[in-house]
Amino acid sequence: DAKTTQPPSMDCAEGRAANLPCNHSTISGNEYVYWYRQIHSQGPQYIIHGLKNNETNEMASLIITEDRKSSTLILPHATLRDTAVYYCIVRSRGADSWGKLQFGAGTQVVVTP
């Protein structure tokens, strides 16, 4: 069963921020929220992950609601190269724990000039 729900597609104008929503209402306390993306004909690429605090790195920001039932990935200044399928995944994480990376359908993001 899918643990996350994402819109199937969204468009974004180049240079604008892209806000990608994800619902994960059944997330448990030890599960993290991960985001990956897959550009056409390439392997998936890790973007960011978080547990309950907001996170930011050079690629994106991750905003997790206080109840942890949803999150938003923010690409601050979308470029044409950000066109990809974006996957939101919840999984447990630890040096000795095995949390399977289960990909759902994802969101196809198209950045237009």
Q: Which residues are near another protein by CB under 8 A?
A: 34, 38, 41-46, 49, 87, 91-106
Q: Do 14 and 75 meet the contact criterion of CB atoms below 8 Å apart? A: no
Shortest distance, position 100 Cβ to another protein, whole Å:
6
Shortest distance, position 70 Cβ to another protein, whole Å:
20
Shortest distance, position 13 Cβ to another protein, whole Å:
26
State which residue, 68 or 91, has the beta carbon closest to another protein: 91
Q: Residue by residue, what is the 3-state secondary structure of 21-56?
A: EEECCCCCCCEEEEEEEECCCCCCEEEEEECCCCEE
